[in-house]
Structure 1
Amino acid sequence: MLPAEGGGVSKAAAADLKVGSEVLTTFKQRVDKILQDFEGSPGSSAKVSDHQISRTAVTSGAGSFVEADVLHLSYEQVHSRITSLSKTLGMQIEAMSIASHGAEVGFANLEEDQRRRFWEIQTQIDREHRATEAAKSSKEHGDETQSKGGYK
């Protein structure tokens, strides 16, 4: 309870809460600006995903060019990862904006769509993180089971 409500909070503590609220408001405004700048930048997930190179761009003529195939596959893997990281960064910034506003007004006082969006972001990021970890683990364990001796 605040002092006006007959609670036990001192005037100094109440002033600290007010200053904290102003700091959070400023922080949220900065995070919102960062998100806006990021979404308009070349690093946004939409713009990163637009920059794809076709397989034919690295080869010319007919026939097999294994190095070009490997180069293109590597490019696609890196491009996919960068697109995913850009998307995750944007979601994290959005979640931080919602969280800072929730810290200011109280999470229970956020609008329902903001609370829902916050948890959607957290769930999606967690799901993607688990999938990435599972893929890494699978690759690591798969590498261990392969024969290293070759044909004898």
Structure 2
Amino acid sequence: MLPADMVGGVSTARAMNLEVTGEALSTFVKRVDGILSDLEGSPGNPRRVGSQTIKPGSLAGNPSAFPEAQDLYLQYNQVHEKLTSLSRALHLQIEAIGIAVKGAHVGFDNLEEEQRRRFWAIQVQMQKTQATSDDSQRTQSDKPIGGL
């Protein structure tokens, strides 16, 4: 049995602390939108990060003559792929937070259909990305370090 001052498993005092004013949510939405805008204009933009690649021939013309260069190239590409993926995920998460905050302010059912669709599309995309990342980590942990 819950104590008399508990509502839904949370005390009345704590429930009041969880209530958020429309003004506070609007301020938070503006901050999230600003962060998203800053990210899109920064070198951390997923498109910019994705375009910074190295060609295999730029390290060594003949991989067998300088195998360390080939190893460096492979490691660079693995790190680059991970950074690109993390940048995309950050971008998507910030966008989803912005939509969620707007939904908390006006009610998720009161959001425009396009915003609700985008929110769920981001959720699906993030779940696929997480599943792919988990599979990749399992595969990578099975490989010996340095090709040995």
TM-score of Structure 1 vs Structure 2, range by shorter chain? 0.7 to 0.9
Shift in Å, 1:20: 1.2
CA displacement, residues 41-69 of structure 1 (integer Å, 9 cap, x when unaligned): 00110110111111121125786311000
Structure 2 residue 31 is matched with structure 1 residue 35? no
Residue type of the partner of 1:115? R
Moved over 6 A (4+): none
Partner of 2:125: 124
Residue type of the partner of 1:112? E
Residue type of the partner of 2:105? E
Question: In structure 1, how many angstroms separate the alpha carbons of the residues matched to 2:63 and 2:46?
Answer: 34
The TM-score with structure 2 as length reference comes to 0.79
The 5 A counterparts of 1:2-151 are: 20-60=21-61, 64-140=65-141, 142=142
Question: In structure 2, how many angstroms separate the alpha carbons of the residues matched to 1:39 and 1:114?
Answer: 19
Shift in Å, 1:98: 0.4
Q: Which of the two has higher C-alpha Rg?
A: 1
Shift in Å, 1:134: 2.1
Change (3 A) 1:22 1:127: same
Percent of aligned positions that are identical:
44
Question: In structure 1, how many angstroms separate the alpha carbons of the residues matched to 2:93 and 2:63?
Answer: 45
Question: In structure 1, how many angstroms separate the alpha carbons of the residues matched to 2:140 and 2:41?
Answer: 36
How many residue pairs were aligned?
Answer: 127
Residue 86 of structure 1 aligns to a residue in which SS? helix
Residue type of the partner of 2:22? S
